[in-house]
Amino acid sequence: MRCLIGGPASCFVQQKQWNKVREARENPGDALIEEGYPVHEPRFTRTTVYAALVTTEALQAAKRQSQDGTAG
């Protein structure tokens, strides 16, 4: 996981969102993309992120490709 917040982080993801990316994560060449809100939780030793959007690079590429095909 590439983390843009500058260090290790724990990420909380809703089950509904995780179900969308679970199978896609079986591809080792794919990268998980988590967008959310970093917070300081005293009970954890690292930054905590509450995910608002979870996807993968491959799912984003497929979505772009299908939108390009239907746009014109």
Full domain range(s) for residue 23 = 9-71
pLDDT of residue 1: 45
Assess if residue 4 is contained within a domain: no
* Residue at 64 is within a domain: yes
pLDDT band at 14 (very low <50, low <70, confident <90, very high): very high
Domain count of the chain? 1
Per the confidence metrics, is the pTM higher than 0.75?
no
> What local confidence, expressed as pLDDT, does residue 40 receive?
86
Give CA torsion, residues 18, 19, 23, 28, to 10 deg.
0
Residue 60 lies in a domain: yes
In a domain, 63, yes or no: yes
- The mean pLDDT value of the chain amounts to 83
Q: Has residue 16 been placed in a domain? A: yes
The answer to whether the CB of 28 falls within 8 A of the CB of 62 is: no
